[in-house]
Structure 1
């Protein structure tokens, strides 16, 4: 076997061969995929480097070369659109940004040189368009269903956040728009191409493309995590509009090349921006110099506005009036200092409006339409704003007389008297009286002719014949004021009504003596006229500066020290029977083991309103903030009858409480906040009722905060009516805690909406039972048999007296119409007309809450309220107009409850309902009958709606059957 395996050949290697190195370097050529380029000589080299994954040095060299081309008039220019520019920008946005931007230290720090170069290369029409297109592409990818191989979680959103940061860094300059216009104007030779590129840029930044895509990206990031969301201002409408306005201001102040071309470009930009939805913010930022009394840019602004269309000019002028009203004309107090500054501010605002009209060649019909137009634009502004606009209009006598005639026609229109909100009628009367005064001083003859015309006579006659006491009051005021100016002593119109001699009547009569003087634009300088911020970022309507009388302080609220005597303690033996207690070893606050956790300086309860405001603002100190919120209600009620401390700070304190958020998750936070707001309302009912009504419609608040404002109005009104103790028993903090779990909102939403809705729901249910139970008892009594067979028990006189309820003083009845009811109903129609059907206030939650609040206020005012007829007419019109919105079950239930409350409160005056509201009564009966037939029973919700509908039907049929003969004529017309 050994011979089978024999070696054929044996070879022995030497040591030299064994030490040979087999890894020999081989000379290779550069690969075709990556070519070493040491200099950049054109866009081809740029594209090749960018596509080959360059390092920092190569990228920096390329970006410097691209930046250098930005000043080239011939050849390649990174800022001028071309096919090569589009390719370079596409690679920068899609590849380079995702690789290199994330290495920065953060968006809040200074960017590196490379990042600044990258931003400069993207600061063009092509760059912004590429970023927007890439953002849209990333959002489409996020909406697509996730595959198994796709990246999940937060990493999927990182490219979106990076690109949003790049967009913000690119736009983050007040000179951005001006630089783009300079590039287009300087480096493009063809005029048609210039116009085309500029229109493309305007369409991107001013028509909402950038804002909409950035907002969508921000919402997508917010939905993932707060840590991923960057909170970019470019996705916020207010911040973006302010940025756009600042860029317009920079163009107005700096662009001097070819004024005609720059003015045209600015007009195109402003025209698109006015339709963006944030007109006031754009105007406030773009024309801030003019609004602050600096008129150096007046000619430039006039040229820009003149190129706008008539509709756009109207939007701009109305926005200027809004901004000036908030900045210069709002005064919370009528002190002597404020009156002097108010005169100067009114003169300055009028001077600016006159200058804009003359410079831009606008027609003064815009001011006439604002004052007395059918759209009621003047409603919702403070009285100083009306005076300023009338002062600007008074320089043209023809236009002033035209406004006076239109106002008089609107004042005497029967439909307006019957259906227009009382708030609008009051504002029209005020404007009419001031126009009458100016007309008397400038053209007395024309005023005399107008006073003898049929327009004036019909207006006064229609007003005096109106069913509403307030409408008759306004008619008597206007008739008396005009007669005092144009008639002789023996022919002057005189009314013996007590309202004319009251403070309200005297204030209206004084309006004909208003004679402001025109000022100059420099009077609007903030250094000369102190600007007062309007609470809640809104405008306040102050029709009268009349404060309700303060309640008198009780006589036995203080004690008087008669004498101080020193009492002898006697012998020390008397102390022997007293028990001895050991001295505590330590302070109770030393219970914590860690000495660093002890808090020796604990906050004390606030004594003054300013201390309360400071404590509520101190959201970083939990103990102080909680103590301020806990004591807010008691302090406000205690200080309301002592001095002017509450009245001087009440609007600022109300703004703070309405916008207060629960940062600490405090127990009973909403209840304590609501108690403080109710305390302020009861301290100044008329003033704060109007303020809370204005805040509900115009304030920048959430739905929960608006609901709390309505709850404050409802509960505050009932407390003024003497029903506070009953509400305290019905609206406890734990009223909604025992609800069945399936009927509760998610915990996060339950904390927001629970307290805002629970008190009003509890009160409405209680009132429903109180109104329906007598009708049910009466119906059961009819079917129980003949009255002759019934046994009736008689109680003694003393027992009957004990059961009879004692009358309570109703302080609400004096201020309910002007302070609570009419501001809410009047602003509803105005707000709906201004904001359309998609307004937040038309949501079922807020609309239901509003209807219940108005119903509770009407019920609390009582059947003896003098303004009940006018409140009934306006509320009935509002309810009938809301019938198409009753598709939601909650709105339908609230609407039926409101109808039931309206009919119940007018039960003692059914004849007036039959005489003045016959059509409304028949329409209500027919609609509620259809609802009763359509809604089926068997469920809790259906039974509740049918119960309310049955109650309304019984009330309406009772009136119809009793006054059938009177209604027969109206019934024939209705059928």
Structure 2
């Protein structure tokens, strides 16, 4: 072994030489005086050798001199090799070691510029931000690879420090502008260098890198931040919504800053395009629009320039979101736009749209497409946004956009497939566009409208409308025909007049007068003022009611002034004379005094709200248990009581509904969900025309959880059944005013005290909370009622299908009752319930149509969030069951039953996307079968018309249901057995109709 190692050379060191190991002392301020710090290289050398605190401050002051404006040639914020080295040392060594001292210095020294501010000034650059992100990634990998946990506390500590540093580097609304200015300084005239610098800035701020890295680092450093004194710092960079809002404010500041340049506008547009892909596009567009356009003193051209450099698809996305924003924030409150001041608000939106569109032909073409697209024109929105868009298009005179809108609208209006398959709500919106555009074209060129009405496309449109099987489609065809004919023909004898009462009623006259509506572009000031002044004014009006005159003070009783103390001795005889005085009985024990701690006893309990504004105030006070409980228990009764008295409910309905939908059970109140749902049902029962479409819109557009959206569907289904008379709310009886009841003294003459107490107890017992699956229970009861006659027929027929034999239905519907046979055999077919046409029309227009139309619009939406929520298995099944309940609640006497049947059967139940989700999911399959069974039950007397008009749908549905029946076992209990039973019932009814009316279906199937 000794021969393997051979020494190359031997050196002997003298004893007076320096030792091999020597203690190296850190470089302090005294070891290198300030006058020797003359270059950035000297600063880098000092930072690398662990400087003292004073030396560090001197170095930071030297590096930040250029930013102070003393003409130093070196700037640490500009990208360069030397600045990168300095930044790397500051991030990896200086910041972790001196972070606590620097923060203490910033809090103690307010007058001078502290070391903390100097450090941030040196690191506020794209190089420093990327260095912090790189260091965070390295620490994250180290923390993940450290399985044993050795050194994990140091890693967590450094992660927390770097997160705090990154949050401190990026505050304010001008941070991106400062970094952009320092990065491109000196490179404005050199595109070869400017382009890669801009791309690096876009990749850092717009790619979501900051959000992902900080979110992962925050999760790993969470334990350290909880134990640290400064652990309450909000890492807002890890929140996508907050980061997007910060980025939107910085984009607006960058775009509106002076001087304006082409390079800066392109960079702002690129950053805006990348920010749209972070997942919070609506909030970003709303914030940027308000900063650049809807603000006092803003330059409207800046927002249009921001959109000019975006790709065409991004421009279309932004413009669609802006139209939706204007409609929801300003124009939806106008209703039919007949309220006072509606023209001023529409003119303001028109002016804002002109500023947004600018001179872009692509955005003008998108407005035309939005108005004439099969799923466009603001489906479900008010007419105000359509009036504003048409008025904006009318201002562009370089091309006749209005004539294009009119021609495309007429072609679409008369298309047979469009008439048959489009939702009624969508056809109404396009009919309004057609009438409005015809009025604008006529005012500019009457000859064009007259010649257009003599073409075959117009004749075919009216003929197809009149030949439609849907009553609403015929109505729209008649009002459009009469409106345009009255516009062109001056002679009343030559005008088209169908002599129908419905076209001369209020709605028909409103449609026909749309050809005379003309809006102009106005100032955008009405869009700015409500955001700043309206809300505080309302609050002030609520909080400061009109003062009543103070009552006159009662006359004071003069008293003789006392001089000193008066002591009087009383004898016991005086007390003996008052033997007839009966002392007060000892009070019963108060449950409030049972607490050991007297501070927990609440003596000043709040009173129940008696006004809607008080109810809203209680619901907003989410930190007060008494207010929350009182508001929930009082809301159903108070809303129903105030429904027909005054305008309180109508004025505050939307605000109250939004509070109830988004309310959280913070205090675990008993029957919380039931009370919240009952309050929303009371709102719809009080204002059905206003609130039912609002809840349908909230289900699709609101930012709510799955359970909250499910409660919205339950509210719509249960309230529709209550309006139709199938359900009776126990709160409606207690909602009557005291003026409708007898006084207590008179009431006791007719009802004794004991009887009154028994009635009150009985009423309280009837107020049972709704179960979480209340809608499913109602659907299950309806299935039992609809299948009972079929079970009776099956009991009488020995050769009936196996699944419909008496034993099967006896076990399923009656739970194995031996007397079920007698019950089925003696049960007759239920009578058709006659519902007033007003109620049926209300359910169709306000409940059913908004839900179906918005679902079909969401099917064509490109938003992943909307489609993800929409096709959630539980929500999709509940949605289809709700539609089935609405059809059943409307009943067979509904005039719009053919339209409802076509929209639900042909538009949704045969949709490939819905059936794809039904594969493997019994809940969705059961919901589809329930909706089909409800449709067949309501259309029992219309089976001939269904087989004639919807022959293809009937055959296709029969094949699909037969497949479901064959592939479902249904041997045991549970959901499979329910699906088996429902599929058999639907299959039997379909086959009965096909066998009876198969001759009517042959022509349709052959054609």
Please classify the TM superposition score into its range, dividing by the shorter chain length.
Answer: 0.7 to 0.9
Q: CA deviation at 1:607?
A: 0.9
Corresponding residue for 2:628?
625
2:965, 2:926 → 1: CA distance?
A: 12
Kindly state the Cα deviation for residue 515 of structure 1 after the two structures are TM-superposed. Answer: 1.8
What does the per-residue CA deviation read over 1:690-734, in whole Å, with 9 as the maximum and x for residues that have no partner?
A: 000001111121111111111100111111111224999xxxxxx
Partner of 2:910: 880
Q: CA deviation at 1:936?
A: 2.9
Alpha carbons of structure 1 residues 428 and 82: separation in structure 2 relative to 1, 3 Å: same
Q: How does 1:100-499 map to 2 (within 5 A)?
A: 100-101=98-99, 113-141=114-142, 144=144, 147-150=147-150, 159-188=158-187, 190-217=190-217, 231-256=234-259, 259-288=261-290, 291-292=293-294, 294=296, 296-331=298-333, 339-340=340-341, 342-359=342-359, 364-396=364-396, 398-487=400-489, 488-499=491-502
Quick one: distance in 2 between partners of 1:353 and 1:103? 53
2:988 maps to which of 933, 951, 954: 954
Find the residue that maps to 2:622 and give its secondary structure: coil
- Aligned residue pairs, count: 862
In 1, Cα distance between equivalents of 2:930 and 2:104: 57
SS of 1:766's partner is helix
User: In 2, are the aligned partners of 1:372 and 1:406 still within 8 Å (CA)?
Assistant: yes
Residues 111-120 or 890-899, more deviating: 111-120
Distance 2:102 2:989 in 1: 73
1:355-754 equivalences in 2 (<5 Å):
355-359=355-359, 364-396=364-396, 398-487=400-489, 488-526=491-529, 582-584=585-587, 589-725=592-728
How far residue 646 of structure 1 moved from its aligned partner, in angstroms, is: 1.1
Aligned equivalents of 1:146 and 1:229: distance in 2? 26
Q: Which residue of 2 aligns with 1:90?
A: 88
Given that residues 722 and 810 in structure 1 are in contact (C-alpha distance below 8 angstroms), is that contact kept between their aligned partners in structure 2?
no
Q: Per the alignment, in what secondary structure is the counterpart of residue 394 of structure 1? A: helix
Q: Find the aligned partners of 1:968 and 1:50 in 2 and give their Cα distance.
A: 91
| Residues 173 and 580 of structure 1: CA distance in aligned 2, closer, same or farther (over 3 Å) | closer
Q: 2:696, 2:850 within 8 Å by CA — same for their partners in 1?
A: yes
When residues 394 and 94 of structure 1 are mapped into structure 2, their CA distance, relative to the original with a 3 A threshold, is same
CA contact (8 A) 1:292 1:526 kept: no
CA offsets, 1:533-560, max 9 Å, x none? 9x9xxxxxxxxxxxxxxxxxxxxxxxxx
Q: Which runs of 5+ in 1 are unaligned?
A: 1-25, 536-578, 729-753, 786-794
Classify the secondary structure of the residue corresponding to 2:197: helix
Change (3 A) 1:758 1:527: closer
CA distance in 2, matches of 1:633, 1:108: 55
CA apart distance, 1:801: 12
C-alpha contact (below 8 Å) 1:678/1:712 kept by paired residues: yes
SS in 1 for 2:955: helix
Partner of 2:882: 853
Distance 1:180 1:514 in 2: 51
Aligned to 2:64: 67
User: Distance between the aligned counterparts of 1:528 and 1:129, measured in 2?
Assistant: 38
Indicate whether 1:865 and 2:914 are aligned: no
Quick one: structure 1 residues 619 and 280, their matched pair in 2 at CA, closer, same or farther if it must change by over 3 Å?
closer
- Per the TM alignment, residue 116 of structure 1 is displaced from its structure 2 partner at its CA by 2.7
SS in 2 for 1:461: helix
CA displacement 1:822-877 (0-9 Å, x = unmatched): 10111012123224455312111211111111111111211221111111111012
State the shift of 1:502 in Å: 2.7
Structure 1 residues 297 and 803: CA distance shift in structure 2, 3 A: closer
Q: Kindly state the Cα deviation for residue 104 of structure 1 after the two structures are TM-superposed.
A: 7.6
Q: Distance in 1 between matches of 2:949 and 2:221?
A: 58
Q: Distance in 1 between matches of 2:480 and 2:129?
A: 60
1:704–1:756 contact (8 Å) kept in structure 2? no
Q: Note if contact 1:161-1:229 (Cα within 8 Å) is conserved in structure 2.
A: no
Residue 459 of structure 1, CA deviation: 1.3
Relative to structure 1, is the Cα distance of residues 156 and 769 closer, same or farther in structure 2, using a 3 angstrom cutoff?
farther
Q: TM-score, normalised by structure 2?
A: 0.78
> Residue deviations 1:499-531, cap 9 Å, x none?
223322222122222122332344544179976
Q: Which moved more, 1:698-707 or 1:499-508?
A: 499-508
Check conservation: 2:722, 2:729, Cα contact below 8 A: no
Q: Distance in 1 between matches of 2:718 and 2:324?
A: 32
2:151 & 2:105 partners in 1: Cα distance? 25
For structure 2, which runs of at least 5 residues remain unmatched after alignment?
1-18, 539-581, 732-768, 801-821
CA–CA separation in structure 2 for the residues paired with 1:84 and 1:97:
18
> 743, 759, 773: which one pairs with 2:774?
759
TM-score between both structures, scaled by the size of structure 1: 0.81
1:600-625 Cα shifts (integer Å, max 9, x gaps): 22111111111111111122221122
- CA 1:362 to 1:953, structure 2 compared with 1: closer, same or farther past 3 Å? closer
1:293–1:521 Cα contact (<8 Å) kept: no
Distance across 2 between alignment mates of 1:225 and 1:491: 82
TM superposition shift of 1:329: 2.9
Structure 2 CA distance for aligned equivalents of residues 611 and 803 of structure 1: 47
